[in-house]
């Protein structure tokens, strides 16, 4: 049957309309069966439920229509629009299929074939819930008695479904430090760059007032964090005249809608930005007043790279009033540039060191590295200088505020790389030069200095305590875990000095090995541990499990929802509530599974106590001596946090508040960093110097292995430098002529919940991916659209269809990374496309542990 666009859109509007997709899917049969049951019970009315989506990290508000006990329509919750999302994506619209999916797991399964492999039949047998839970609990008891660290918890979408405190409390009560999330496969280096620069994380462009947006590879029109706010607000801003410049090797949807697309050579963004910084400094178009007031740019640096300090630890500046070196206090006017003698050494300001480092980074040099014409860089920099209106102010609601309407933004563009932290720090330094941090129209920050410890040297512990090596000498600022490392550590724990061997993994809603670079190696590590997987489908990770436990979907479950902030609003709390109940009569959800395991393993009361701590509950709390249903848990948290009746939660599903102008612009960097005696944003990240010294000591004194000190010194540079544009994969893979990058598509994830959805796969081409090749390159190689080609890297080979396009650099190929599912437990229509992660190199960012998705080089040829 040929599907027409009109019938597809009709089907997206209501799942009942999915009949237009053909009769081969069980959705309608299930819907009819459930409707009949409800109608017989006499409760076949129409109901609306407010809830929150968790299929990605946008956590959009939903309004779900249920008729006769069956989901009929999913729309955006209009009440959530002022606080975050005005629309929802195709995943949200078609989420009913996720619940009614006939391929869902329905019973606990136990592996009977001890050999694990991609082509091995696990020989599953169904077991009762009691047998499954008792088996798991017995193993957990044994491990807990020996060394609880041998148990590793991993989650992905599971944390979005259940929220962090619930899962963290479970691990804390059990006693394992190994509570590992997926952030290094998403945005970790961007977040850690924020943390080591201004002491918290997440920035957004202040789009209500931005006049020029520099977008370095962010693709929120295709799907990423804050997508459902950024897409709408960007459109509004463009209507009033905001200009958008997208810097990306590929003509993404964002680039296609921009005012200007600059196709940069992959990985070289930092050199482009450094060249722009040099032009701004040389022309005097920088906000010196803001640099002195808010940042440590005027602080004096010793020859060893550390900030010079007084005996009591106060940083020194050169006071232009007294012509002496002293701390920044009242009456002191720090010099931003220059060098001075002090106690037998010559001290330079951090800003002077930055200026000196830019000596050779001219537009012509940048053109050679990035492929961007020097004239383009000069023109763009001139426009930035003009639009930034340095020194200007604006009055809003009676408040006189800094006005810098130029914003820098990225997501994976400069962060999914070996030097991802340094890539985003380059972008933030550009914003600091303009004085745009928390300025009207600039870069909005969330809770500056809320995690002040990251502005200090890391302990960089060795030997490591965690299997993912987070916060160790290997990844000293990985405060958000290192998702892809656990299975690599499991292959050889002694290589990293880990004093124990991981024995068991509990994996909740995560397809981690499939989602990481060099994924085959990930599965080798997973084959060494006893694995319990909680999920809704037989994903690739579930295929490697010893026990698989089915879960309810987010439309069947109670949970406290994660939320998103935006510059002018907050959502302190939201809930997820079931709109239908346990469609397949599974009987358990993840919440109940955790309570049962805690009880059977013997730490249920400790779990309740840790829940109170992790949620910060004061008045309404979890009590010892009993279990809690998921609804009871949600009601406890809601009641304590909001002091509102739970009927408000059922009706609205969230609490939101708008920020007044003072809270929006004057309670961030203005109140935290401005002026003498205050902490400073780290223009110069001196804590990285101290951290490198600690790691060097571990290598020399403790024999820490697998640490190349020369590479670590580059990675832990206190300032972004041109070397950060040359990752190992680019330097070493000289015989591989093409840059291989990956990109995201809105309607797919790697968990498995989207690849089985016929609604998402119905448009033609959305159930498969392709190798995007520039037309000039393809013509030389006699490759046409539809031809089968091979991508070969230093890791391996994959084969897929070519897609010849104009919108990509001639030296670059790109493949979307949400396809190529291979689990035999998924239907054939789900197992299409290229599993590109199998051939991507992994050279993780030293600072954050971020997966280097966009650093691989490759060969490409006809199959």
**What pLDDT does 397 receive?**
97
How big is the CA angle at 138 (ends 134 and 141), to the nearest 5 degrees? Answer: 135
- Asked whether the predicted pLDDT for residue 696 surpasses 60, the reply is yes
Token pair recorded at residue 833: 């496309």
- Give CA torsion, residues 12, 16, 22, 26, to 10 deg: 110
Q: Rounded CA gap, 238 and 245, in Å? A: 12
Distance between the two ends of the chain, CA-based, in angstroms?
Answer: 31
Give the DSSP H or E segment for 862: strand 857-862
* Paired sense of beta strands 559-561 and 443-445, if any: unpaired
pLDDT per residue over 605-632, tens digit each? Answer: 999 999 999 999 999 999 999 999 999 9
Q: How many residues does the chain have?
A: 863
Cβ atoms of 409 and 212 within 8 Å: the answer is: no
pLDDT at 40 over 50: no
Instruction: With CA atoms as reference, report the closest residue to 206 among 569, 654, 674.
Output: 569
Task: Kindly indicate the confidence band of residue 34, based on its pLDDT and cuts at 50, 70 and 90.
Answer: very low
Residue 313 makes CB contacts below 8 A (sequence gap 6+) with none
**Distance (Å) of CA 614 to CA 172, 433, 451:** 9, 38, 16
pLDDT of residue 441: 98
DSSP state of 577: -
- Torsion sign, CA atoms 852, 853, 854, 858: positive
Residue 254: which of 591, 700, 745, 672 has the closest Cα? 745
At residue 1 the predicted structure's pLDDT band, cuts being 50, 70 and 90, is: very low
Count of CB atoms situated within 10 Å of the CB of 110 = 17
- Is pLDDT at 603 greater than 70 in this prediction? yes
d(CA 420, CA 186): 11
User: Residue 788: is its pLDDT beyond 90?
Assistant: yes
For residue 2, is pLDDT > 50? no
Residue 641 CA to residue 575 CA, distance in Å, equals: 12
Q: pLDDT tens digits, residue range 655-665? A: 999 999 999 99
Residue 702 DSSP SS3: helix
When pLDDT is averaged across residues 309-325 and rounded to a whole number, the result is 96
| Rounded distance between C-alpha atoms, residue 528 and residue 502, angstroms | 9
Q: Across the beta sheet with 70-76, what order do the strands follow?
A: 46-52, 61-67, 70-76
pLDDT above 90 (res 737)? yes
Q: Do the Cβ atoms of 307 and 301 come closer than 8 Å?
A: yes
- 157-183 exposure pattern, b = at least 16 Cβ within 10 A, e = fewer: bbbbbbbbbbbbbbbbbbebbbbbbbb
Half-sphere exposure (Cβ direction) of 424: Cα atoms closer than 13 Å? 33
- Residue 8 reports pLDDT greater than 60: no
Inter-residue contact 417 to 189 (CB < 8 Å):
yes
pLDDT at 388: 98
pLDDT tens readout for residues 117-157: 999 999 999 999 999 999 999 999 999 999 999 999 999 98
Question: What's the distance, CA 404 to chain centroid?
Answer: 27
Q: H or E element: which one contains 341?
A: strand 339-342
Please give the C-alpha separations between residue 257 and each of 108, 265, 405, 410, 468, in angstroms, as whole numbers. 47, 20, 20, 16, 40
CA dihedral 726, 264, 746, 828 (to 10 degrees): -70
Give the pLDDT score at 25: 23
Tokens of 852: 């280097």
Beta strand segments in 624-707, E: 654-658
Name the strand (E) or helix (H) holding 594.
Answer: helix 590-601
- CB–CB of 514/818 below 8 Å? no
Report pLDDT digits (tens) over 346-361: 999 999 999 999 999 9
Among 153, 108, 90, smallest CA distance to 506 is for: 153
Residue 764 has pLDDT above 70, yes or no: no
Q: What percent of the chain has pLDDT over 90?
A: 90
Strands 151-155 and 345-349, bridge-based pairing: unpaired
Over residues 465-485, the mean pLDDT reads: 97
- What local confidence, expressed as pLDDT, does residue 13 receive? 32
Provide the pLDDT confidence category of residue 15 given band limits of 50, 70 and 90. Answer: very low
pLDDT of residue 767: 85
Under the banding of pLDDT at 50, 70 and 90, the label for residue 38 is very low
What's the pLDDT tens digit per position in 229-239?
A: 999 999 999 99
CB 185 within 8 A of CB 851: yes
**pTM attached to this predicted model:** 0.94
Instruction: Using the CB atoms, write b or e for 799-816: b if 16+ within 10 Å.
Output: ebbbbbbebbbebbbbbb
How much is the pLDDT for 44? 59
What percent of the chain has pLDDT above 70? Answer: 95
Q: Are 572 and 663 in contact (CB under 8 A)?
A: no
> According to the model, what pLDDT value does residue 18 have?
31
Contact present, 453 and 471 (Cβ < 8 Å): no
- Dist. CA 470–CA 670, nearest whole Å: 32
- Is pLDDT of 24 > 60? no
């Amino acid at each position: 049957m040929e599907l027409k666009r009109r019938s597809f859109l009709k089907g997206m509007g209501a799942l009942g309309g999915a009949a237009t997709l053909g009769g081969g899917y069980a959705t309608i049969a299930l819907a009819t069966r459930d409707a009949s049951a409800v109608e017989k019970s006499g409760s076949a009315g129409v109901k609306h439920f407010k809830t929150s989506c968790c299929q990605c990290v946008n956590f959009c508000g939903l309004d779900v229509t249920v008729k006769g006990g069956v989901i009929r329509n999913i729309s955006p919750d209009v009440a959530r629009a002022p606080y975050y999302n005005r629309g929802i994506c195709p995943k949200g619209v078609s989420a009913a299929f996720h619940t009614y999916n006939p391929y869902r797991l329905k019973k606990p399964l136990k592996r009977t074939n001890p050999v694990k492999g991609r082509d091995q039949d696990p020989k599953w047998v169904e077991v009762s819930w009691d047998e499954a839970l008792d088996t798991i609990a017995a193993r957990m008891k044994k491990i807990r008695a020996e060394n609880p660290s041998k148990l590793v918890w991993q989650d992905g979408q599971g944390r979005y479904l259940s929220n962090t405190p619930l899962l963290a409390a479970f691990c804390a009560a059990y006693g394992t430090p190994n509570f590992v999330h997926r952030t290094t496969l998403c945005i970790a280096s961007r977040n850690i760059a924020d943390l080591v620069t201004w002491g918290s994380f997440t920035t957004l462009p202040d789009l209500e007032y931005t006049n020029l947006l520099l977008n370095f590879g962010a693709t929120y029109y295709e799907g990423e964090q804050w997508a459902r706010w950024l897409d709408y607000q960007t459109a509004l801003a463009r209507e009033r005249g905001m200009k958008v410049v997208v810097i990306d090797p590929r003509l993404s949807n964002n680039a296609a809608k921009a005012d200007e697309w600059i196709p940069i050579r992959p990985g070289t963004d930092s050199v482009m930005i450094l060249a722009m910084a040099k032009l701004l400094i040389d022309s005097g178009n920088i906000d010196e007043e803001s640099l002195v007031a808010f940042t440590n740019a005027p602080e004096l640096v010793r020859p060893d790279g550390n900030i010079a300090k007084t005996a009591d630890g106060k940083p020194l500046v050169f006071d232009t009033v007294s012509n002496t070196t002293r701390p920044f206090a009242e009456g002191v006017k720090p010099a931003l540039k220059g060098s001075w003698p002090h106690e037998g050494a010559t001290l330079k300001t951090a800003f002077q060191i930055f200026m000196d480092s830019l000596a050779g980074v001219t537009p012509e040099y940048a053109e050679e590295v990035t492929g961007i014409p020097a004239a383009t860089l000069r023109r763009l920099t001139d426009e930035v200088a003009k639009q930034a209106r340095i020194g200007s102010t604006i009055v809003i609601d009676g408040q006189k505020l800094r006005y810098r309407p130029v914003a820098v933004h990225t997501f994976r563009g400069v962060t999914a790389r070996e030097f991802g932290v340094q890539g985003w720090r380059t972008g933030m330094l550009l914003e600091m030069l303009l004085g745009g941090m928390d300025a009207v129209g600039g870069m909005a920050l969330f809770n500056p200095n809320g995690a002040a410890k990251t502005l200090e040297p890391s302990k960089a512990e060795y030997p490591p305590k965690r299997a993912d090596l987070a916060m160790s000498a290997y990844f000293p600022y990985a405060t958000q875990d290192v998702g892809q490392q656990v299975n690599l550590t499991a292959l050889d724990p002694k290589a990293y000095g880990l004093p124990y061997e991981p024995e068991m993994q509990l994996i909740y809603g995560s397809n981690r090995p499939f989602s990481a670079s060099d994924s085959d190696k990930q599965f080798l590590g997973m084959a060494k541990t006893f694995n319990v997987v909680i999920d809704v489908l037989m994903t690739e990770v579930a295929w490697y499990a010893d026990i698989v436990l089915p879960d309810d979907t987010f439309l069947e479950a109670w949970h406290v929802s994660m939320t998103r902030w935006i510059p002018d609003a907050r959502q302190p709390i939201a809930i997820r509530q079931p709109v239908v109940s346990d469609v397949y009569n599974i009987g358990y959800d993840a919440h109940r599974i955790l309570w049962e395991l805690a009880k059977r393993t013997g730490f249920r009361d400790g779990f309740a106590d840790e829940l109170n701590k992790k949620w910060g509950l004061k008045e309404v709390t979890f009590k010892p001596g009993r279990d809690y249903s998921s609804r009871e848990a949600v009601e406890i948290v809601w009641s304590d946090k909001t002091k509102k009746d739970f009927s408000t939660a059922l009706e609205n599903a969230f609490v939101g508040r708008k920020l007044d102008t003072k809270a929006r612009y004057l309670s961030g960097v203005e109140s935290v960093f401005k002026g003498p005696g205050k902490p400073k944003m780290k223009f110069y990240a001196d804590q990285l110097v101290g951290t490198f010294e600690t790691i060097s000591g571990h290598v020399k004194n403790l024999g820490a292995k697998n640490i190349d000190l020369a590479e670590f010194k580059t990675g832990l540079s206190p300032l972004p430098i041109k070397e950060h544009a040359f990752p190992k994969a680019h330097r070493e893979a000289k015989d591989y002529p093409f840059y291989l990058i990956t990109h995201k598509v809105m309607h797919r994830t790697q968990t498995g919940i989207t690849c089985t959805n016929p609604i998402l796969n119905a448009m033609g081409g959305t159930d498969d991916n392709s190798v995007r090749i520039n037309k000039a390159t393809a013509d030389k190689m006699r490759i046409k659209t539809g031809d089968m080609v091979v991508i070969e890297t230093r890791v391996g080979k994959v084969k897929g269809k070519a897609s010849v396009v104009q919108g990509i650099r001639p030296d670059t190929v790109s493949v979307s990374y949400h396809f190529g599912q291979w689990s035999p437990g998924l239907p054939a229509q789900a197992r299409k496309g290229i599993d590109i992660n199998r051939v991507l190199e992994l050279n993780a960012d030293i600072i954050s542990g971020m997966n280097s998705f966009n650093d691989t080089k490759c060969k490409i040829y006809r199959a």
